[in-house]
Structure 1
């Protein structure tokens, strides 16, 4: 198992993986429809999206946590 000190990185990895995968599929289907090579179009878009999403989640998640804590009453 992974050491708890890497929790933020593991969280960011899986959040970016699932969100980029789902969003790239939806956007690919929206843009080109159900074409024969949709899987290759989607996987190419997913790879690009994940490369952007992973570092974004690492930097944005702490800001979102702070903002959420300010908006939620204790």
Structure 2
């Protein structure tokens, strides 16, 4: 099991992986259609986008949390 202190990192890792898979799949489909080898194209696009998405989530999450706190009434 993973210690609780790593929960925000695991959450960011899983969420960025899931979201980048969806977005890269849609973008790959729109750009290339459904050719033979679509899975390989998608996988390449996904791994590239995930390598950018995960660190972006780690940097952006605290800023977005603070912004949400300011925008939501207590």
Structure 1 length-normalised TM: 0.96
Give ranges in structure 2 of 5+ residues lacking alignment: none
What is the aligned length? 74
Match of 1:48 in 2: 48
Pair 1:30 & 2:30 matched: yes
Whole-angstrom CA distance in 2 between matches of 1:73 and 1:3: 32
Whole-angstrom CA distance in 2 between matches of 1:68 and 1:31: 34
Pair 1:13 & 2:21 matched: no
Report Cα offsets for 1:14-67 as digits up to 9, x if no partner.
111001111000000011111111100000000100100010000001111110
Match of 1:60 in 2: 60
Structure 2 length-normalised TM: 0.96
Let me know the Cα RMSD of the aligned residues.
0.6
